[in-house]
Structure 1
Amino acid sequence: MIIVTGATGQLGRQIVERLLTRVPADRIGVSVRDPGKARAFADQGVRVRRGDFADPATLAHAFEGATQVLVVSIDRFGADAVGQHRAAIDAAVAAGARRVLYTSHMGASASSHFQACRDHAATEEALRGCGVPYTALRNGFYAASALRFFDQGRHGDQLALPADGPVSWTFHEDLAEAAAAVLADEGRFDGPTPPLTAGRAFTFDDLARVAGEVTGRAVTRVAVPDDRFQEQLTEHGVPAEYARHLIDIFLAARAGEFAAVDPALGTLLGREPISLESALRKHLT
C-alpha cells in the first residue's frame, strides 16, 4: 500500500487526487491529523487513518501495511520540523516500507540562506541513514509564494520588494502530478531527484514587465531594503519570526540558490510545466 501523509494539505491532497488516476484506490492510504477532513478520499475507497508526526505513536497504525510512504514536509522551521520528519521516516521503516519518499526542495543545503532548505538538507541526511531505499523529491520553489509576494509588493504601478534573483517558480499542480508518477513507478529515482522545476526562472523585474504588458501601464520594480520590508510584513500582522524567514528567501534568491532549471519535471509530466508568466497573466485579468 502507498501511504501519503498530509493528504488534506495543498500539495498532499493533489498528490492523492492524481495518484487515484494511476493506482486503484484500495492500494492507497492517507495519514492525516483530522480524518474527517479526508472524507472525500474515504468515499472513493482510500484508506484514511489518523497520523500525526508530533505524536509518533499514531504513525504505526497510520502506516500499517505500507510498501511506500511519502512524507510530505510540514510547514514549520528548525529543529521541530526536522524532528517530526525524522519521526515519520522512522515510523515508515518500522512499518516495513520498502521505500520512503520525501517532498524536499531544489535548494536543500546545510549552507542555504533559507532555514527551510537547511531543514530539508537535514531531513535528507536522515533519509540517507534510514536503512531502506529512499527518494527525495527536490521540488522547485512553489509559485504560489511568488504570487503572494507579488500581491504584497504591488502598489499601483510599483512593485516594491527586496532585491532578488532568478527563481524557477513551480506550481503545486505539476509537482503533485510528478509525485504521483514517481509513486506509481516505484524506484524511478533513488536518492535525490534532479531539481523538479518549471522551464524558466523569473526575477521580480521580469514579473513587473509582464504586469505592465497585461495592464497596459508601466510597472516599476523598486528594491525595498530587507529590514523595511520585514517591518511592513509585521505591521500587516505577519509574525516576526515568519517575516524573517520570508526575507531569507530573497537572500537565498540573490545568492542564486533557486535559479536552476532542469527538464526532469517536464519529462515526468510528458508536457511543459505551467509557466509562471502565463499564470500571472491570468492572475491579473
Structure 2
Amino acid sequence: MIVITGATGQLGSRIVEHVLQRVPAGQVGVSVQDPAKAAHLAERGVRVRRGDFTEPATLAHAFEGAERVLVVSAAIRGPGGLTANLAAIDAARDAGVRRILYTSHQASSPRSLFPAQLTHAASEEHLLATGVPFTSLRNGFYTSTIGYYLGAALETGRFAVPADGPFSWTAHDDLAEVAAVALAEEGVLDGITPPLTAPETLDFEAVAAVVSELTGRTISRVVVGDDEWKAAAVEAGVPEAAAEFTLGMFRAARRGEFAVTDPTLEKVIGRPATPARTVIAGMLDR
C-alpha cells in the first residue's frame, strides 16, 4: 500500500489524483488531519485515516501496512516544522515501510538564507540516518507563490517587493505528477533527487513583464528596501516572524539559491513542464 500525507492540501491532493491514475484505489491510503475532508476519497475506495504530525501517536495507525509513505513536509514555520517532519519520518520507519518519500526543495541547505531550507536540510539528514531507502523530492519553487503578490500588483500597478533574483518557478501539478511516478514506479527516483524544476527562471521584474503582457496593463517592478518592506508588512497585519521569514526568501533569491534548473522533472513526467506564464494566466482568470 502507498500512503500519502497531507492529502487534502494543495500539493497532496494533486499527488493523490495522479497516483490514482496509476494505482488501484484499494492500494492507496491517505493520512489527513481531518478525515471528513477526505470523504470523497473514501467514496472512491481510498483508505482514509487520521494522522497528525503534531500527534505522532496517530501516525502508527495511519501508516499501518504501508510499503511506501510520502511525507509532505509540514506547513509549520520554525522549529515546530522540523519536529513534525521528523515525527512523520520516524513513524514511517517504525511502520516498516520499504521506502520513505519526502517533499523537499531544490535549495535545501543548512547554509540557506531562507529558513524553510534549513528545515528541509535537517529533514533530509534525518531521512538518511533512518537506514530506510528514501527519495527526497527537491521541488522547484512553487509558481503559486507569485499569487501572494499578484493582487496588490494588480491593484497598484506595481510589484513592490524587496530585491530578489531568479526563481525556479514550477507548477504544483507538475511536481505532483513527479511524486506520483516516484510512488508508483520503483527505481525511478532514489535518494536526494536533482532539482525538480521547469526549465525557465524568472525574477520579479520578468514576472511583472509577463503580467503586463497578459493584462494589457503596465505593471512595474519596484524594489523596496528590506526594512521598509518588513515595516509595511507588519503594519498591514503580518506577524513580524512571518515577515522576517518571507524576507529570507528574497535574500536567498538574490544570492542565487533558486536560480537553478534541471531536466529531470520533464524526463520523469515525459512532457514539457508547465511554463510560469501559463500558471500566472490561470491566476488572472480566477
State the TM-score, normalizing by the size of structure 1: 0.96
SS in 2 for 1:238: coil
Rounded Cα–Cα distance in structure 2 between residues aligned with 1:196 and 1:148: 22
- For the residues of structure 2 that align with 1:230 and 1:13, how far apart are their CA atoms? 33
- Classify the secondary structure of the residue corresponding to 1:186: coil
Distance 1:99 1:34 in 2: 25
Deviation at 1:211, TM superposition (A): 2.4
Considering only aligned residues, what root-mean-square deviation do their CA atoms show, in Å? 1.4
Do 1:63 and 1:91's aligned partners in 2 also have CA atoms closer than 8 Å? yes
- How many Å separate the matches in 2 of 1:14 and 1:212? 29
**1:60 paired residue number:** 60
> Which residue number corresponds to residue 114 of structure 2?
114
Q: Which runs of 5+ in 1 are unaligned?
A: none
Are residues 215 and 10 of structure 1, via their aligned partners in 2, closer, same or farther at CA, if it must alter by over 3 Å?
closer
Tell me if the contact between 1:210 and 1:281 (Cα under 8 Å) persists in the aligned partners.
no
In the TM superposition, 1:114-193 aligns within 5 A as 114-193=114-193
Report the counterpart of residue 47 of structure 2 in structure 1: 47
| Counterpart in the other structure of 2:5 | 5
Instruction: State the secondary structure of the residue aligned to 2:66.
Output: coil
Say whether residues 1:270 and 2:248 are aligned partners.
no
Inter-CA distance 217–61: structure 2 relative to 1 (3 Å threshold): closer
**Residue 256 of structure 1: aligned partner:** 256
Q: Is the 8 A contact 1:7 1:30 kept in 2?
A: yes
In structure 2, the partner of 1:94 is 94
Gaps of 5+ in 2: none
For the residue of structure 1 that corresponds to 2:69, the secondary structure is strand
* Cα separation, partners in 2 of 1:182 and 1:276, compared to 1, 3 Å: same
Instruction: Work out the percentage of aligned pairs sharing the same amino acid.
Output: 52
Alpha carbons 1:153, 1:161 under 8 Å: kept: no
If the length of structure 2 is used for normalisation, what is the TM-score?
0.96
1:210 corresponds in structure 2 to: 210
Find the aligned partners of 1:208 and 1:121 in 2 and give their Cα distance.
31
1:152-173 Cα deviation digits (max 9, x unpaired): 4455332211111000111111
Aligned counterpart, 1:228: 228
Task: State the Cα distance separating 1:22 from its structure 2 match.
Answer: 0.3
What secondary structure is seen at the aligned counterpart in 2 of 1:85? helix
Maintained 8 Å contact 1:33/1:52: yes
* Separation in structure 2 between the aligned mates of residue 225 and residue 6 of structure 1, nearest angstrom: 36
1:236 is displaced (CA, Å) by 2.4
* 1:76 partner letter: I
Indicate conservation of the 8 Å contact 1:142/1:172, yes or no: yes
Between the aligned partners of 2:246 and 2:125, the Cα distance in structure 1 is 24
Instruction: Give me the whole-angstrom Cα distance separating, in 2, the residues matched to 1:142 and 1:208.
Output: 17
**Alpha-carbon distance in structure 2 between the residues aligned to 1:153 and 1:253:** 20
1:237 paired residue number? 237
Q: After the TM superposition, which of the residue ranges 186-195 and 241-250 deviates more from structure 2?
A: 186-195
Q: Distance in 2 between matches of 1:210 and 1:83?
A: 39
Give 2:22's aligned amino acid.
R
Q: Offset of 1:37 from its aligned partner?
A: 0.8
Q: Distance in 2 between matches of 1:212 and 1:137?
A: 33
Kindly tell me the number of residue pairs found equivalent between the two proteins.
285
Q: Retained in 2: the 8 A contact 1:154–1:160? A: no
- Residue equivalent to 2:84: 84
2:105 is matched with 105
Shift of 1:235: 2.3
